[in-house]
Amino acid sequence: MTPKQRHYGLCVLAGLCFAAAQAPLGIWPLLLVGFALSLKLLGNCTSAKHAAWTGWSVGAAYFAASLSWIIEPFLIDIAAHGWMAPFALLGMSAGLALFWALPFGIAVRLGKPASIIALWPLSEYARSTVFTGFPWGLNAYAWIDTPLAQIASFVGPHGLGALTLGAVALPMFWNLRKGAALGVSALIALALLGHLRISAAPEIAADAPLIRLTQPNAPQHQKWDPEFTGIFFRRQIIATQASPKPDLIIWPETSLPNWLNDAERTLAHIHEAARGTPVLFGAQRYEGLRVFNSLALLTVDGEIGQVYDKHHLVPFGEYLPLGPILGYLGMGTLTESFGGFAAGDGPELINLKGIGTALPLICYEAVFPHEMYSAEGRPDFLLHATNDAWFGTWSGPYQHLVQARFRAIEQGLPLMRSANTGVSAAIDANGRVLDSIPLGQAGFIDAALPPPLPATFYSRFGDIPALIALFFLLGVTLLPHVSRRN
């Protein structure tokens, strides 16, 4: 094996370490191994171009492994979309890896490899925001089942990822023995702080609202098949009318089997089954030629109350960027035959009398930590209705669940999650799963609504403090370089 082959082989290994640290494997020590190996490879780079290719190779291996579920939506209708599956995975992996190539190349171009500590998290923030953003698979998510995840309530996932990288980088860019001791001590101190936050969590009140989460388990290839829609609808009706009577019933995304505009008889059936309990359900609706992916409230009177329209749509899944051009090339959305959804007006709260206010999140909207806000104020809990049947049965649904749990930690709010095929879960304000329905299983759970925590530092200030700290660190790192040039 030549030195070049060995170098890029180690790049692939580093990427696979990052992937194995994420759900569903969740081997979090490999996150530290991935960072250490990546920084070692960066130190061996002889030019900015070499470093950029190194970062790209690590990123491409990571995204290809962790986002392998991306091919699943294309296999629902193989005849129409199957040909795009390999291009989707390769294109997504190669494109997202550019956000890792950039900081590696810049760090070596500046002659300050240590600047990667700030450049890499800043580039990950860019990945999360530019071109509508795709913050799936942030490195901090590897900490989900450890006390370190609680630090996201202070600095968010980008700040937590930067702290992790910094702890690993200390022995490599400063002093091996002292840096290792300081890095380990810092992670232990943060873990203790996270443990204290968990131990201070309040108990659920005896009179807390009881919320029912339903899961019909409708595979995507059968979801809209007339031979099966009645089966899935009956499963939800049975779950809805079961005793004891809850205070709120939540159905998952697009769980109404027909258009909301034309569902009078269907809604009457749901109202009868609910026996006076309000029901929140996912539905598709239209206004003229525009179609919306919505969450609607069926009130105790059997009337449609507030309706929330999903505002952050999935590119290529729910709408087609550069529609006329890509449509001419034969590409289309992976949703229904009508050609895609229109975006709603933005985040808004749903007022549930006797229960509180909820910030609704439909599917993909739960992956954006910087969008958990509403112009109407802070909610009492987060409400996530999703159809994870699109994501397959291996990694996608579990990664989506982890991100939803992080939103609860960051905001200090409980999260109630109803998923079409799973995992439906009641999650407390520390991101802990209190009860759940496994993936691929039909049923329901009744969960008492956990209390919210006081507004977290991250819920008040978002990513701004972490970004300021990263830019300050970058400036301090580059200051000697700039002074020498001057």
Considering 11, 17, 45, 363, which one is annotated as catalytic? 363
Whole-angstrom Cα distance, residue 387 to residue 330? Answer: 26
Catalytic residue at 310? yes
Task: Find out whether 466 and 162 touch, Cβ atoms under 8 Å.
Answer: yes
- H helices of 210-296, in order, are 226-241, 264-274
Nearest C-alpha neighbor of 18 from the set 93, 106, 119: 93
Catalytic residue at 4? no
Task: Find out whether 441 and 79 touch, Cβ atoms under 8 Å.
Answer: no
Task: Tell me the CA end-to-end span of the chain in Å, nearest whole number.
Answer: 44
Considering 11, 112, 124, 310, which one is annotated as catalytic? 310
Considering 124, 253, 318, 365, which one is annotated as catalytic? 253
Q: Angle at the Cα of 68 (from 83 to 363), degrees rounded to 5?
A: 95
Helices 85-109 and 116-129, packing angle to 10 deg: 150
DSSP per residue, 169-197: HHHHHT-HHHHHHHHHHHHHHHHHHHHHH
Name the amino acid, one letter, at 172: M
Structure token digits, residue 133? 């953003």
Catalytic residue at 203? no
Question: Residues with Cβ < 8 Å from 352, sequence gap 6 or more?
Answer: 248, 278, 297, 358
Whole-angstrom Cα distance, residue 363 to residue 384? Answer: 7
Task: Find out whether 393 and 72 touch, Cβ atoms under 8 Å.
Answer: no
**So which residues are the catalytic ones?**
253, 310, 363
